[in-house]
Chain A
Amino acid sequence: MTTTTAPPAPTPAPTRERAQSLKRSLLILVAIAAVAACAPFVLPESRQSIAIRVLIFAMMAIGWNLMSGYGGMFSFGHAAYFGIGAYTDTYLLVTFGWSPWLALVVGAALAALVAAGIGYVAFRYKLRSAYFALGTFAIAEMLRLLATNTKWVNGTTGYHVPLLPESSWTMLQFGANAAEYFYIGLAMVVVCMVVTLLYLRSRSGIYTVAIRDNEDAADALGISVMRVRLTTMALSAAITAAAGMFYAQYYTFVDPDTAFGSAQSVQAIAPAVIGGVATPWGPLVGALILGPLADLTVTWLRTPPAFLDFLTGRSGLDVVLYAILLIVIALVLPKGIVGSIQEWWKRR
């Protein structure tokens, strides 16, 4: 099979142009990272944890976006990979004293393997669209129940990462609110982005999009649909597992619900959908909006402007806002924020 036989697009972009667009994307990424790196200097200490949440959201959404946005395989169960990452980390750390960095490699590999296994079974038996989504959801729920009822992963109690007396890079533990957490998280987001951008420019990445757009045509042109899909799923799962490991290290605690609960699956989807599915920057924009949403509405509600005085002390408004935001975006910007901007830019 050669590239000349697989032109799903009208004409394949010349290599030089493709390289240029990659360069541009990487430059944008560097710029975003540089701006983000200032956050610890600007944000008050009490807001650091929100910045960390944004980073975790971003990592999960980048992972989800790769498989479900670019790959078109809608996953409602990314909590499975997130949880595998978190549990592998805490299990190896608590039981054997492994460094989280090593555990990250193991966790990512394990999540990739599980994803490939799920994908193989699902595609072998032609599980598509809504049925595939339901299947992924069921797998995550199964893992949650399995963790809940398995004694050697501490059942319902889960794991506490033991607190160390001193900061340690090898054990990825620093003082509460230390800026190191933020920079490590930021570096991980950047790595995930670079990996995603490179993958999407690779042959496998281009095939992924081609299969999403027309599976039968891609198959007819000799693309090994199964192999490409499994590669994409595995990479997506590995990225999400990295988010899980970082979560466990930052929050120093995981249990079956926090690791495998459906809330985590939603947290992987929502930023990508709001920011823009199948756009490179959508997950980042979505995470930046959803991460602080709850805390900001709560802060704002504590001292609302005079005309909204009746709202003082009401709780739950952030949930309402969250829902309204989702509805408005779905109605007005069905392609998400970044997707709509891109479209507008093209038609301009």
Chain B
Amino acid sequence: MSLKSSVSPNYARRKAVDLIMRGLVLIATGLAIVPLVLIIGYVMIIGGSALNWEFFTDIYQPPMTVSMPNTGPIDPNDPFANLDLGALVGSEPATGQAGAGDEKGADILEAPPRGGVLHGIVGTMLITTVALLIAMPIGIMAGIFLSEFPDNSVATTVRFACDVLSGAPSIIVGVTAYILIVNAKGPDGQPLGFTGIAGSIALTFLMVPTITRTTEEVLKLVPEATREAALAMGATTWYSTFTVVVPTALSGIVTGIMLAFARGAGETAPLIMTVLGSNVLMTNLLEPMAALPLITYRYTESPFPSENTLAWGSAFVLMMLVLLVNILVRIATRNRLRMR
């Protein structure tokens, strides 16, 4: 009898179980990242191929093989100003399919992609930044309240409300914003209408719970000893919170804000109900605006292959934008002290 078996008679069985469990965990992990790899890979391959310099510097251009005659300056207040009705008529499915030899229809379907998503980049950045500027102070302050004064009925209620709201379908948030803002009567008795700022507010509804809860969680991780040290120095509670507790948890709070930014930048449903979308470059938050997810949403179902390419490119740019902002913010807020 070997020493090994005398020490643990079921050694072989335990080893086998360990091996099987490790395999199962590995398979599950692999399955979990399959969708991620598929989505990112697909968007990168198809969307990435749509990219060129024009894509970042130009706004939407209707699919054409020949340049349109100049019809004069575009009215910047008309979101559909350069929606080319002529091209749409030419591409009616009936015409396109029945008359395969129809020169015009065939031309448009085979038209190379042109134009860009500058209006979408500008719109998304503006709407999301404004939303973040509103959501950040509210979310961070509420998070501080929940973490530093955790045991009272207000905190319990707020915590519950945040959890419900962060799980709420975004279309409901959109409808709410539509009723409260877009459809609300302005001073002139007319509805306020679709505006960029309405979209920002709708996104705020989605961002605040995320920021609040992550702020609360990371502040709770700050050791009690750190708070006591500050208090023992004669600091008041708010002074110790803002000079010691928040800076200690800063990277975690930034993570929460970036999560909220990524979620806000990618939301589509609330924007459909509030900013409507636009094909021209709009920088006025009191007007309908363009946004990258709206471009993706609208042109994915377009019959024109060139517009489908635009939608993929827009999706890719959105992904890269979120990534870029994330990296820049991390560099800006990283701790410059030597920790070792």
The answer to whether A and B belong to the same complex is no
